């Protein structure tokens, strides 16, 4: 498609979508007009930033809404099953978010599957509320991590409360979620199996204990089956709705009047019913430095757990012993390798050694296996050492006992 044809197609799509959004607002609207301030291609999604102006005939006032339209890029839709990811996010906004929770999330103005390859999700631009993305993808100031943990505790707590008080509705949502990442043949699976062993190769070169490396390598050469699939299975009673991609790039922040940071989660494309360690370990080992993990691990976990307990008590949950700090710590030790495997894939990108567009182009041109082999050592020994240090930290924390 030529550039001119692409622009024309995009404008036609936006016109159709905005007409539906205006209709969906349910307001007595007159003189509606909109302008696009910018559009961004982010990995496999196009985002249009739109400002909608109209006259509300109910109160005779001129009003304005700022929103972001998300649309999958059709050429890439089946590479990482972004079609299923849009299905999941639409499900999240339509059925999981409650009307009284709008202050926790971006308001969803409109969400629709227009065809098997065309979706739209129109969300409030929460920059207008003071929320902004973090300028760090890795090793952000500690205040950001504490804010992220507090919001994750609230998010997981909502899952527990809904599971107890609206059990049928909760499990109806769970049953309708689709696996869009950890399935046989998915690019994430292939890359995880290939890249998980790079830390062990580094440890061998440093003369580390061969027996340790041998045992871990036997596990990591099939990281998908031996680690990922075993950990993501929901284990009661701690299983809850997990974000599934809990990284700094999917969290927005703002400072309150006292200077304390608040967080808001975005991008619910890979939400899943699992245990807290899936989100906690993903954040810790992809977004925190190894020095911070060593020094502040228990502070981080405590911030999460305190927020979780506060939410449960405020919601009137009586039986909170099953969500105790020790139960959480046991769950973390059981499954923290999940975050390590994810880091083996994502960390080079977090540190700037791999650009998202390069990752996608390699997958297109070389396939899943070829791109995994090409990218395995991105970042060189710096990334290898970080991953090795994470693995040794997991050992020292007691997270590898079931393997060793």
SS3 of 139, please? coil
Residue 52 lies inside a defined structural domain of this protein: yes
- Shared-domain flag, residues 104 and 219: no
Q: What is the pLDDT of residues 325-367, one digit of tens each?
A: 999 999 999 999 999 999 999 999 999 999 888 888 898 899 9
**CATH, residue 32:** 3.30.200.20
Model pLDDT for residues 187-205, shown as the tens digit of each residue: 889 999 999 999 999 999 9
Residue 403 lies in a domain: no
CATH number of the domain where residue 188 is located: 3.90.1200
Domain count of the fold of the chain: 2
Q: Which two tokens stand for residue 14?
A: 């936006």
Report if residue 404 sits inside a domain.
Answer: no
Say which range, 22-36, 79-93, 103-117, 227-241, has the weakest mean pLDDT.
22-36
Among 230, 248, 232, CA closest to 240: 232
Same domain, 209 and 316: yes
Band of pLDDT at residue 3, cut at 50, 70 and 90: low
The predicted pLDDT at position 5 comes to: 63
Q: Is residue 402 part of a domain?
A: no
- What's the whole-number mean pLDDT along residues 219-235? 95
Listed range (6-10, 242-246, 278-282, 345-349) with the worst mean pLDDT: 6-10
Average pLDDT in the 317-324 region? 92
Distance set, CA 256 to CA 147, 153, 189, 208 (Å) = 11, 19, 40, 47
Q: What's residue 259's pLDDT? A: 86
Are 187 and 63 within one domain? no
Give the pLDDT mean for 288-313.
97
Which of the residue ranges 57-61, 98-102, 338-342 has the most confident prediction, judged by mean pLDDT?
338-342
Least confident stretch, 75-89, 112-126, 307-321: 75-89
If asked whether residues 389 and 295 sit together in one domain, one would say yes
Whole-number Å distance between alpha carbons of 343 and 131: 26
- Average pLDDT (57-74) is 87
How confident is the model over 86-106, as a mean pLDDT? 93
> 324 in a domain, yes or no?
yes
Residue 79 falls within a domain, yes or no?
yes
Q: Which of 4-8, 18-22, 71-75, 171-175 is predicted least confidently?
A: 4-8
279 lies in some domain: yes
Average pLDDT of the segment spanning 223-244: 96
First and final CA of the chain: distance in angstroms? 55
Domain of residue 149: give its range: 130-397
| Domain end among 78, 94, 124 | 124
Quick one: 376 and 318 in the same domain?
yes
- Confidence tier at 284 by pLDDT (50, 70, 90): very high
Domain end position, chosen among 100, 124, 148: 124
pLDDT at position 87 is 96
Final residue of a structural domain among 124, 154, 179 = 124
Same domain, 143 and 266: yes
pLDDT grade for 4, boundaries at 50, 70 and 90: low
pLDDT score for 134 = 94
Q: Are residues 12 and 41 in the same domain?
A: yes
One domain, residues 176 and 321: yes
- Is residue 149 in some structural domain? yes
Q: Is the pLDDT of residue 1 over 60?
A: no
Q: Do the Cβ atoms of 43 and 360 come closer than 8 Å?
A: yes
227 and 350 fall within a common domain: yes
Does the pTM exceed 0.85? yes
Confidence category of residue 68, pLDDT binned at 50, 70, 90: very high
DSSP H or E stretch at residue 160: helix 142-165
Per-residue model confidence as pLDDT tens digits over 120-139:
999 999 999 999 999 999 99
* Residues 34 and 50 sit within 8 Å (Cβ to Cβ): yes
């Amino acid at each position: 498609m030529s550039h001119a044809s692409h622009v024309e197609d995009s404008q036609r799509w936006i016109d159709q979508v905005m007409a539906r959004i205006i209709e969906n607002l349910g307001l007595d609207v007159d003189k509606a007009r909109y302008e696009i301030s910018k559009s961004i291609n982010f990995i496999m999604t196009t985002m249009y930033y739109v400002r909608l102006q109209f006259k509300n005939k109910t109160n005779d006032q001129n009003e304005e809404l700022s929103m972001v339209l998300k649309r999958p890029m059709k050429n890439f839709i089946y590479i990482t099953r972004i079609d299923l990811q849009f299905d999941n996010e639409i499900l999240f906004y339509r059925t999981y978010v409650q009307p009284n929770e709008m202050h926790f999330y971006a308001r969803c103005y409109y969400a629709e599957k227009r065809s098997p390859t065309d979706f739209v999700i129109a969300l409030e631009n929460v920059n207008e509320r003071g929320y902004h993305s973090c300028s760090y993808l890795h090793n952000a100031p500690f205040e950001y991590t504490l804010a992220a943990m507090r919001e994750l505790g609230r998010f997981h707590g909502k899952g527990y409360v809904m599971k107890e008080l609206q059990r049928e509705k909760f499990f109806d949502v769970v049953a309708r979620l689709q696996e869009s990442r950890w399935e046989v043949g998915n690019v994430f699976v292939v890359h995880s199996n290939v890249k998980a062993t790079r830390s062990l190769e580094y440890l061998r070169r440093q003369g580390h204990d061969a027996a340790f490396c041998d045992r871990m390598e036997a596990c990591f050469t099939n990281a998908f089956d031996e680690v990922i699939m075993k950990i993501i299975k929901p284990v009661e009673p701690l299983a809850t709705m997990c974000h599934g991609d809990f990284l700094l790039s999917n969290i927005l922040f703002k400072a309150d009047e006292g200077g304390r940071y608040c967080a808001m989660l975005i991008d619910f494309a890979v939400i899943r019913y699992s245990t807290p360690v899936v989100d906690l370990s993903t954040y810790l080992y992809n977004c925190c430095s190894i020095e911070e993990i060593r020094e502040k691990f228990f502070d981080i976990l405590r911030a999460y757990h305190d927020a979780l307990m506060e939410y449960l008590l405020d919601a009137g949950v009586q039986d909170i012993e099953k969500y105790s700090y020790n139960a959480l710590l046991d769950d973390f030790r059981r499954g923290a390798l999940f975050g390590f495997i994810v880091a083996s894939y994502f960390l080079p990108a977090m540190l700037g050694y791999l650009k998202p567009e390069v990752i996608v182009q390699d997958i297109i041109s070389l396939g899943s296996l070829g791109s995994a082999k090409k990218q395995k050592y991105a970042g060189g020994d710096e990334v290898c050492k970080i991953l090795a240090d994470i693995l040794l930290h997991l050992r020292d924390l007691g997270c590898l006992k079931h393997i060793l």
